[in-house]
A and B are shown apart, each in its own frame.
Chain A
Amino acid sequence: MSTEARAAHFPAADWDGGVFPYRVGHRKLGMWLFIVSDSLTFSALLIGYSYLRASNVWPTPFPFYPSIVFSSVMTFCLLSSSLTMVFAVSASSRGDRAKARKWILGTIFFGLAFLVLHLIEWNHLYSEGLRPFSLPADWVTRYAAPDGTLPSPLFGATFFTITGLHMFHVFTGAIYLAVVAARLNKLKHEDVEISGLYWHFVDLVWMFVFPLIYIMTVDIGAH
Chain B
Amino acid sequence: MLDPVITPELIAKHGLTTEEFQRIKDILKREPNFTEMGIFSVMWSEHCSYKNSRLELRKFPTTGPRVLVKAGEENAGVIDIGDGWGVAFKMESHNHPSAVEPFQGAATGVGGILRDIFTMGARPVFLMNSLRFGDIRPDKPNAATNRRLLSGVVSGIAHYGNCIGVPTVGGEIYFDASYDGNPLVNVFCLGTLKTNEIQRGAATGVGNPVFYVGARTGRDGLAGAAFASRDLTEDSKADRPAVQVGDPFIEKLLLEACLELFQHPEAIVGVQDMGAAGLTCSTCETASRGNSGIEIDLALVPQREPGMTPYETMLSESQERMLVIVRAGHEATITKIFEKWDLPCALIGRVTDDGFMRVKNHGATVAEIPAKQLADEAPLYKREATRPADLDERQKLDLTSIPEADIHDVLGKLLATPDLASKRWVYRQYDHMVRVGTVTAPGSDAAVVRIPTGENAWKYLAASVDCNAHYVALEPKLGALIAVAECARNLAMTGAEPLALTDNLNFGNPHNPENFYMLQQSVDGLAEGCRAFDIPVTGGNVSLYNQSPAGPIDPTPTVGIVGIIRDVKHITPSHFQNSGDAIILIGDIGEELGASLYLREIHGLKRGRPPELNLDREKKMHDAVRSLIRLGEIRSAHDLAEGGLLVALAECAIGGTKHLGATITLDLSYSRLDAFLFGESQSRATITTRPENASALVALLELRGVPARRLGTVGGNELKVQVSGPTPHEFSWDVSSLHQIWNGALDSYLS
**A and B, one complex?**
no
| Chain B residues in the interface with A (C-beta under 8 A) | none
